[in-house]
Structure 1
Amino acid sequence: MKIGIIGAGFITMDFAHRAAESGHEVLISNPRGTNTLKEIAQKMGRNVKLVSTHEAANAEIIILFIPREDLKTSIDNLPDMSGKTVLHTNNPIINLQSFLSTVSGQSSCDIVTCLLPDAHVIKIFNTIEPPVALVSKKHQERPRIFYAGENRKAKNNVKVFLETLNFSGVDLAGFMN
């Protein structure tokens, strides 16, 4: 499967590393420039390529990590994203109970969803501390990644994808109703 990554952060690089190890073709683009990612991409192996944002956006699943202040400009420059599954990763949570009780206002994922109305935006809520995310934990319990979205087929594809990355995907739909 082709996985497009737009934006570089701890979580997106962890996803890229895991996806490459799992045999996925990983296409990484950083709207702020890919030159700083050359060494990291080489260490991840031959399944990883640095590409343009348009090439990354043409993958089957797109993982998006763009600072809130750059969202509109970056998304306006993407090709047609109709029907695409877009994982939005700018959603860290520390405590699930406090998170569920305080969700309000327009999050960066709400902005992404408004800017990509015809895409299937799935929120990925990460509970991994950044330094831990870069460490392989093959012999420990699979880390949980929480996700939420509207499209059932897209969520199922995300769950399967997360399993290939050795994550335990947890759909928040049951918690939020």
Structure 2
Amino acid sequence: MKIGIVGASSITMDFASRAAQSGHEVLISHSNNNTLKECVQRMGTKVKLVTKEKAVKAGIIILFVPREELKTFLSDLPDMTDKIIIHTNNPVFSMECLSNVIKSSSEIIADLLPDAHVIKLLNIVEPNILLSSKEKHSGNEIYFTGNCTEAKRKVKAFFKTLNLSGIDFEEAYLFNKVG
């Protein structure tokens, strides 16, 4: 499977390394690809530095773009119908972009790409949800949320290839409420 990664961060580079080791082809684009050359070379031949346009052609796209650049970045993308976009945290480089926060970054992405399936990674989960889960925790858990069941199923399967335990937040939360 082709995985597109747009934006370098510790989490996107971890995904790139895991995906390459699992046999996926990884296409990475960053605002300054030159800064990543050495790192990408160490990951092997399955990982390539490419343009943004090539990275977003992959079936699953992992996105790490500064919040203040989201609208500009997303405005010139090709057709994103049925693409799965795994949205990681957005770095903030200007506090001005937070002065009129009405929508989350995930909502902005979903509004600008209405035909894509946005899956949001969660980095903060209530401890009672973690403690109430039937699953034994190994440290490889990664929580996510989204509104497309099929996209969430594909993301969970993708995470499994990376030796990560993908946990759908809604399922864990509902278990906690009902269980």
* RMSD of aligned residue pairs (Cα, Å): 2.0
Equivalent in 163, 166, 169 of residue 169 of structure 1:
166
How far apart, in 1, do the equivalents of 2:69 and 2:49 lie? 20
How far apart, in 2, do the equivalents of 1:170 and 1:7 lie? 24
Where does residue 9 of structure 1 map in the other structure?
A: 9
Structure 1 runs (4+) greater than 2 angstroms displaced: none
Q: 1:142 to 1:166 in 2, by over 3 A?
A: farther
How far apart, in 1, do the equivalents of 2:143 and 2:123 lie? 7
Letter in 1 for 2:69: D
Structure 1 residues 1-177: aligned runs within 5 Å: 1-30=1-30, 32-90=31-89, 106-126=103-123, 141-174=138-171, 175=173
Shift of 1:109: 1.2
Letter in 2 for 1:145: I
Letter in 1 for 2:89: N
Structure 1 gaps, min length 5: 93-103, 128-139
Letter in 2 for 1:109: S
Higher CA-based Rg: 2
Query: 2:25 touches 2:47 (CA, 8 Å); kept in 1?
Result: yes
- TM-score computed with the length of structure 1 as normaliser: 0.81
How far apart, in 2, do the equivalents of 1:154 and 1:171 lie? 11
Question: Among the aligned pairs, what percent are the same residue?
Answer: 56
How far apart, in 2, do the equivalents of 1:83 and 1:53 lie? 18
- TM-score computed with the length of structure 2 as normaliser: 0.80
Query: 2:64 touches 2:90 (CA, 8 Å); kept in 1?
Result: no
Shift of 1:90: 1.0
SS at match of 1:117: coil
How far apart, in 1, do the equivalents of 2:19 and 2:46 lie? 9
Query: 1:90 touches 1:109 (CA, 8 Å); kept in 2?
Result: no
